Amino acid sequence: MFTYCSSTTKERFMINIKKTSLSREDLVKQAPRLVAVLRALRKTHRDITSDSLWENILQRWSANDLERALKRFEKSGKLDEFKKLLEPLPQADKSGFFVADGEAWGTVSAIAAKLEIGGKPVARNRKKCRHLMGRVNQGNHVVFYSLSDMEKACAVFKQDLPKAGKDGFISLENEEWGTLYAICESLKIGRKPIEKKARELRQRVAFDRSGRPQTFYALSDVRETCASLLKKFPQAKSNGFFKIDGEVWGTVPSLSRKLRLCSQCIYKHAPTCRSRTGIDPRGAQAAFYALSDIKRACKGLLNAPLADRTGFFKHGREIWGTKIALAKRLGLHRQRIAEKIGSCRKLVGKTNKGRPVTFYPLSDVTKACSDYLNAPQANRTGYFKLGGETWGLRIPLAKLLGVNAQTVTKRASSCRKLYAKTHVGRLELFYSLSDLQRVCADLIAKKRPAHPVAKAVLTSHAPVMAKVLKVLRKKRKDIVSDDLWKAITTRWTEQRFTSAVAAFKQSGSTSAFTKLLR
């Protein structure tokens, strides 16, 4: 009894279509699990060797197949997949066929020779057929397909069907028949109108010019059904325009490219302009609009200045830019720009894609955002000193004080705050450390260690701490001695400090101090 699977299920035994290949390195990783499988198999199959099991897995399974079989064994102890794997594969004769369960199975080339058709039709239809693994005459593992399934799938190739010429048409009973592509090319119309009314058209199966069976439609039926599309509408050139009675007409995309306006602007003003039906460069019907009417309707936008890719243009002696472009140029967030541009001059211009946008002069925005641009910048730890006061970001301050960041946000409303730059130049809100210590005093007292490090103890280990600081600065140059001393006295007990110093003296390890400064 040989196992096969349908084309809709995962192709378990196909080695030439496997998406996840299995290597010997993968087997080595699964060795402990496979040893348990081998022990269980030897209870019923005493002659099984590890080499035979490994070779069968490598030749016939993918990594996903192996993982699925191992999980099933570990969960329920079932060895069905492994037992089927160890069954001997059927051996094909010289013709490339073997018989299993009263069914003939063959390779692609053997079936093609048997049915007297090319190998390509068989290969194209193999997913529709049942398949299983077997051995060819040379002993290699190959996928075999059901001959009966393949005969049904390739029945159309056995019929005496006409074949289309180079133009994609066939002539039968004084009637021209063509594929959908050939008819569209010949009549210069789109596919959608024909596809919508395909049920109303006469159809027949024939071979196209490449030898594949295709549906052919009667050309006369297409002409009658799509008569409205075949009227002599004006045909646009490759640029999307045509000229009639001295007037230039174009589609929305072509007008957008010519006038350098976005399509939305043209669609907005199109109802007030003259329009007519024509054939676009692709051969489909489309609405065309008078160029002169569009110019008159969009007169204000046509005269607006056009920005480059960076979002800026020069108007007079000033450089104007959009909010996004100004934010990138000045290194500020768009929200900070929006807060300050209320007093700046404005001008409507176009982006490089033709979209109308409000522009602002760079000089005005720079002056309005001077307080942000001249703001102090923090170091890597998220702190800076200003006027003898330490300022920091919300999360670094919460870590320093040993409290929750959300608690800091809730209690920071009564604290002094200002905008400053982070070490990467981004503008953020900084809070006063002394104010936060005051509003979070009750939480800090709970977090404070029972036996904090006394200053006298810290002073006695000053030479060792100087060496620790030197080692730490090799990895982080922005570490300040004050930050290290403050973290030790507020977050460590005396016992924890002495053990960290002892570890440094013995092995030079600074891991405890590194964790403290995170």
pLDDT digits (tens, 9 = 90+) for 111-161: 888 877 777 778 878 888 888 878 887 667 788 898 888 888 887 776 777
With contact defined as beta carbons under 8 Å apart, do 178 and 185 qualify?
no
- Indicate whether 16 pLDDT > 60: no
Q: Which residues contact 111 (CB under 8 A, 6 or more apart)?
A: 96, 122, 145, 147, 150
Residue ranges in 298-378 assigned as alpha helix (H) = 299-302, 323-330, 334-340, 362-368, 370-373
278-292 CB burial, b ≥16 within 10 A, e <16: bbbeebebbebbbbe
* Mean of pLDDT values over 80-99: 82
- For 482-514, what is each residue's pLDDT tens digit? 778 877 877 777 778 888 888 888 888 888 888
Separation between Cα atoms, residue 358 and residue 322, nearest integer Å: 7
* Mean of pLDDT values over 169-186: 84
* Mean of pLDDT values over 427-454: 77
pLDDT level of residue 2 (50, 70, 90 thresholds): very low
Separation between Cα atoms, residue 105 and residue 143, nearest integer Å: 9
* Mean of pLDDT values over 19-36: 77
What local confidence, expressed as pLDDT, does residue 109 receive?
87
pLDDT level of residue 5 (50, 70, 90 thresholds): very low
Which residue do the tokens 């890719």 mark? 309
Is the overall model pTM greater than 0.75, yes or no? no
What local confidence, expressed as pLDDT, does residue 3 receive?
36
- Indicate whether 6 pLDDT > 70: no
What local confidence, expressed as pLDDT, does residue 21 receive?
63
* Mean of pLDDT values over 363-388: 83
- For 246-257, what is each residue's pLDDT tens digit? 899 999 999 988
Q: DSSP readout, 408-450? A: HHHHGGGS-EEEEE-TTS-EEEEEEHHHHHHHTHHHHHHHS-S
With contact defined as beta carbons under 8 Å apart, do 86 and 2 qualify?
no
pLDDT level of residue 229 (50, 70, 90 thresholds): low
Count of alpha carbons within 13 Å of 274, Cβ hemisphere only? 9
Rounded to whole angstroms, the maximal C-alpha distance in the chain is: 112
Separation between Cα atoms, residue 514 and residue 510, nearest integer Å: 6
With contact defined as beta carbons under 8 Å apart, do 365 and 372 qualify?
no
What local confidence, expressed as pLDDT, does residue 447 receive?
63
- Indicate whether 388 pLDDT > 80: yes
Q: Which residues contact 228 (CB under 8 A, 6 or more apart)?
A: none
What local confidence, expressed as pLDDT, does residue 13 receive?
33
Q: Which is more confidently placed, 128 or 8? A: 128
- For 313-360, what is each residue's pLDDT tens digit? 998 888 999 988 988 888 787 888 888 888 899 888 888 888 888 999
What local confidence, expressed as pLDDT, does residue 172 receive?
83
- The region of weakest confidence among 6-15, 124-133, 202-211, 391-400 is 6-15
Residue ranges in 208-269 assigned as alpha helix (H) = 219-225, 252-259, 263-269
Amino acid at 388: G
Percentage above 70 pLDDT, the chain: 92
- Indicate whether 227 pLDDT > 80: no
Calculate ∠ Cα 350-356-359, nearest 5°.
Answer: 65
* Mean of pLDDT values over 200-223: 82
What local confidence, expressed as pLDDT, does residue 15 receive?
34
* Mean of pLDDT values over 401-413: 81
Which residue do the tokens 């069907």 mark? 161
Q: Which is more confidently placed, 351 or 452? A: 351
Indicate the DSSP class of residue 317: T
Partners of 100 in the β-ladder: 103
What local confidence, expressed as pLDDT, does residue 14 receive?
38
- Indicate whether 289 pLDDT > 90: yes
With contact defined as beta carbons under 8 Å apart, do 444 and 437 qualify?
yes
- Indicate whether 177 pLDDT > 70: yes
Partners of 203 in the β-ladder: 217
